[in-house]
Chains A and B, each alone.
Chain A
């Protein structure tokens, strides 16, 4: 049940260096918070009770959307509303502003950050309810049993855990070939967005490469796909204020009705944003039309393995892929 939070010590570092030092000092007792949308839910459910909470939301270097010529940088603590309302981003990468605009509610978008949206933990109800599952360090998956409710769970990349990425902005960033800038032991490193997200086969207790001591500092989006055609669609049980069952982000370069190149990623179908690589290959150099849509539909969900209650996601992926291709006509 959701309750008062445990007593913790709050640290408000004045710089990224201070934050890194605090993380080093407190090790596994440390917890980074910015918008707090995921963190405070964990604390209130009492499933996470870190002693040292480090609030990095005030760090100037984590804020703002800037044009650096070859790429646009977004500070990790930039809110989803700021992204949604950014003229610069809308002009260059509308797939991202559309994705940000479809996250949760105005209240959440006004405080929730891009860093938190891409780094939030799995939303599997069994995991969130404190079941001692593999992801929580236990020895079972409660979502993949004959009677488990798993309509929101994974179709691909299952490795003991069947949780999916809940993020709307993550597939958009993967489609855009974004890079994540991470402070690791005080040193900045850049990780391609596809490598930023990790599946249970790599590390079942994490959703991203972030480990103790790491801070996501910024997202860099190269202008490779600036001004390209784009499509974002999110399917959820409600039209708004819900996590995606499946979402899709597409960017494409076209000449007339011919597709020169495209990148497509889906959320909600595996633990990480899933590139629809077969669809990307298939459409390259082809002319948009009903035939291409049919082919895209045919390969979009290839390799999907449904659980008991999530078969419906297979036609969802197929239809979303077809619609994304149709949007290029």
Chain B
């Protein structure tokens, strides 16, 4: 079958690409658009390293077809900072050293951003439940949770 022509928006930019039906959105982001911030961990929806936001919904890019991005607004880790201005979550992750090897970090940041957009004042339990679909094999969860809570407080103007 011929490649599909897909028109979408990635981090606010209009984007067109050609892809095979069996290519996932993650394959397209990394291999066709060279946006390699989203990582492939498990490739089966377990680890959340490929988390992106599609039309406001947090999803695993590894379990979504590239062609399904047609007409959607896709947000990836590459669009999180505003030029040189880091997103408050990114700043707080640095302050709290909320990363070790760093492979899970883009997924955690995108997932945390999605949480704070829905719930600007989450409890620690809400943060932990929301981030349950993101795995950190270095097991540095505590600092991640603290960084998210600290960001939420700062973004609320606390």
Contact = CB atoms under 8 A, between A and B. Distances in A.
Interface of A: 2-10, 12, 36-37, 40-41, 43-44, 53, 55, 57, 81, 104-108, 110-111, 238, 240-241
9 contacts: A4-B27, A5-B24, A10-B21, A37-B45, A40-B63, A57-B68, A104-B133, A107-B58, A111-B64
Given A10-B4, A105-B133, A36 B44 contact: no
Given A105-B132, A107-B45, A53 B57 contact: no
B43 A2 contact: yes
Contacts of B67: 10, 12
A32 B150 CA distance: 44
B132 A110 contact: no
A208 to B, nearest CB: 21
Contacts of A57: 68
Contacts of A8: 21-22
B111 interface: yes
Q: How large is the interface on B (under 10, 10 to 19, 20 to 34, 35 or more residues)?
A: 20 to 34
A3 B43 contact: yes
Given A10-B1, A106-B111, A240-B129, A111 B59 contact: yes
Interface of B: 1, 4, 20-22, 24, 27, 42-45, 48, 51, 57-60, 62-65, 67-68, 111, 114, 129-130, 132-134
A14 B111 CA distance: 32
Contact of B21 (A3, A9, A36, A37): A9
Given A105-B48, A106-B58, 12 more contacts: A2-B42, A2-B43, A7-B21, A36-B65, A37-B63, A106-B114, A106-B132, A107-B51, A107-B58, A238-B132, A240-B129, A240-B132
A107 B111 CA distance: 9
A62 to B, nearest CB: 15
B4 A108 contact: no
A63 to B, nearest CB: 14
Nearest to A101: B129
A2 B4 contact: no
* The 8 nearest A-B residue pairs measured at CB: A105-B133, A10-B21, A241-B132, A5-B22, A110-B57, A240-B132, A2-B43, A107-B133
A238 B1 CA distance: 43
B57 A81 contact: yes
B107 to A, nearest CB: 9
A121 to B, nearest CB: 14
Contacts of B65: 10, 36, 55
Given A40-B63, A55-B68, A110 B44 contact: no
Contacts of A36: 63-65
Contact of B63 (A3, A111, A238): A111
B62 to A, nearest CB: 8
A238 to B, nearest CB: 8
A238 B130 CA distance: 14
B130 A106 contact: yes
A12 B59 CA distance: 21
A166 to B, nearest CB: 14
Given A107-B51, A108-B60, A41 B44 contact: yes
A304 to B, nearest CB: 30
B153 to A, nearest CB: 22
A110 B42 CA distance: 18
B1 A9 contact: yes
Contacts of B62: 40
A49 to B, nearest CB: 10
Contacts of B130: 106
A8 B48 CA distance: 25
A8 B21 CA distance: 7
Nearest to A35: B63
Given A9-B21, A10-B1, A241 B63 contact: no
